[in-house]
Amino acid sequence: MSLKGDVCVVTGACGFLGEHLVRLMLTEENLEEIRLLDRNIRTELVQELQGKYSETRVTVFEGDIRDADLLRRACQGASLVFHTASLIDVLGKVEYSELHGVNVKGTQMLLEACIQENVSSFVYTSSIEVAGPNPRGDPIVNGDEQTPYSACLKFAYSRTKKEAEELCLRSQGERLRDGARLATCALRPMYIFGAGCRFTVGHMRDGIRNGNVLLRASPRRALVNPVYVGNVAHAHLQAARALRDPQRRSKVGGNMYYVADDTPPISYSDFNHAVLAPLGFGIQEKPSVPFPVLYFLCFLMEMMQTLLRPFLQFAPPLNRQLLTMLGTPFSFSYQKAKRDFGYTPKYTWEEARKTTTDWLAVMLAKERAKKRKAE
């Protein structure tokens, strides 16, 4: 079903996924209006979108996701919300109260605004880290939504995303102020890559400092299935179409779906090499420090972080849970999304890799220009 004529709100609209989702909707749908809700609006992006897609009105709502008045104004007259905004933190740099406030309280307030303003469809961007891996590093290979798993989530980020996802799914069927019912679903993408991914750029910078050799943080056996940002955006659009379709609304509503694509299973470190190798980067055969030693060092750094917390905000560059995540085989299938709302990847692995590498080439040129200027 088309979203033609709909008014849509995208939270985190200027973020990595949000921008790709907005661009995809402007290309594929003839919406009446897309409302960009973000704490940090990028003026140049808004001007480009407003100038390029004149048939759809693009409006801006700048502010905090915890601002109830802002949320009510953004949702007034809208029929669909994509909630992609969240704080991401796997190093312990952000206070738990801030993570909870944005990821959980912000989601709750947005759902309340939807109910008050009669927004009938809500698509929530969850995370693979809601699934795990657990601190034991128990693997999952090609799992699905029914795969049993004992997950004890260590990251505060993971816990807040899980709580927000549960809020979203529990809101399925809530009665709106006009008497209609709210339909919700949650999408759990794998590790998202593509143009705009700051994590890939960070690994590239580490590689530059290491003489154009990427650091190995994960063993080759720790296979995961990263997903291209364009395919994640496409899955969001397909899920929204299903929620807006009276024939499929009850089937998709209230459900969680994993979002992957046909990127070959690969470790996180070897994935970084796959997209950066064409730019002249190598990769370490083995990590500089053996994983058991690195695990012990992470333990010591975490103890130091705990001891210093009353006096100093210290975040280690690596921790045990992050090391476990990097070293655990953890992959999932997208077949349920395919069955329920027709999701199939829009972009092949070859297309996704080329687009990502081309963007990284531009970023690499900028890094080298900055280095020359500094010298």
Q: Note if the bond before 148 is cis, omega within 30 degrees.
A: no
Half-sphere exposure of 65 (CA within 13 A, CB side): 27
At 255, which amino acid appears? N
Half-sphere exposure of 307 (CA within 13 A, CB side): 6
Neighbouring-strand partners of residue 57: 33
Clarify whether 268 is annotated catalytic. no
Residues present in the chain in total? 375
> Which candidate in 53, 96, 124, 157 is catalytic?
157
Place of tokens 């001891």: 307
Structure tokens, 315: 């975040």
Q: Which of 10, 3, 8 shows the shortest CA–CA distance to 33? A: 8
Neighbouring-strand partners of residue 33: 7, 57
* Strands (E) located in 46-129: 57-62, 80-83, 121-125
Nearest-angstrom CA–CA distance, 360 and 35? 29
Residue-wise burial string across 44-55, b where 16 or more C-beta atoms lie within 10 A, e elsewhere: ebbeebeeebee
Structure tokens, 225: 């299935």
Work out whether strand 80-83 and strand 33-38 pair parallel, antiparallel, or are unpaired.
Answer: unpaired
Nearest-angstrom CA–CA distance, 198 and 215? 16
Taking a C-beta distance cutoff of 8 angstroms, is the pair 243, 253 a contact?
Answer: yes
**What are the two backbone dihedrals, phi and then psi, of residue 313, each rounded to the nearest 5 degrees?**
-85, 105
Place of tokens 């594929």: 28
Burial tier of 116 (Cβ tally within 10 Å: 0-12, 13-18, 19+): middle
Q: Is the dihedral of CA 217, 223, 228, 234 positive or negative?
A: negative
Structure tokens, 251: 């089937």
Give the catalytic positions in this structure.
157
